[in-house]
Structure formats: C-alpha cells, structure tokens
Amino acid sequence: MANHKSALKRIRSNETKRLRNRYQHKTTRNAIKRLKEAEKEQATTLYPSVVSMIDKLAKKNIIHDNKAANLKSQLAKHVAAL
C-alpha cells in the first residue's frame, strides 16, 4: 500500500483515467461495428464521426497513432466498397 499522500492521489486519479479511457475505447469499438454493419447511406453519414472518435483516442494515447491510421484506412475502404 502507498505511504505518501501524493501516491494515494495518483492511485485514485489513475483509476479514474483508466475507467474513462476504457469507456471511450469501448464506445469507439461499438461505433466501428455499427459502421461496418450499416448500409451505404448510413455508413457515409457515420464515417466522419467515427473517424473523429478514432482521432481523439490516438491524440490521448489510448490507441497508437499507427493503429488509428490503419483503422481509418480500413473503414474508408469499406465505405467506398459499399
């Protein structure tokens, strides 16, 4: 167990950030699934918001920049092929 006041605060803040990151990541994954299952018109309207969510995850280092680029590329190809 932590002995310092700052270490206890760090434990609390890490847990808060972990839960927030987990929520955002799961929400984005669900949005990606919805986009992949959608029809052409709905997919084209969902695409910008999903890309924005992916960019936010990459900016906050929840996912790696290259993973974000790969996901966006994959989704763009999918939407274009519909």
Exposure on the CB side of residue 45, measured as CA atoms within 13 A: 4
CATH architecture of 5-81: Up-down Bundle (1.20)
Domain range summary for the chain, segments of one domain joined by +: 5-81
According to the model, what pLDDT value does residue 19 have? 97
According to the model, what pLDDT value does residue 2 have? 80
pLDDT of 1 over the 80 cut: no
pTM (predicted TM-score): 0.85
Mean pLDDT to the nearest integer, 60-80: 96
Residue 51 neighbours by CB under 8 Å, 6+ apart: 72, 75
Confidence of residue 38 (pLDDT cuts 50, 70, 90): very high
Q: Are 51 and 70 in contact (CB under 8 A)?
A: no
Q: Are 47 and 82 in contact (CB under 8 A)?
A: no
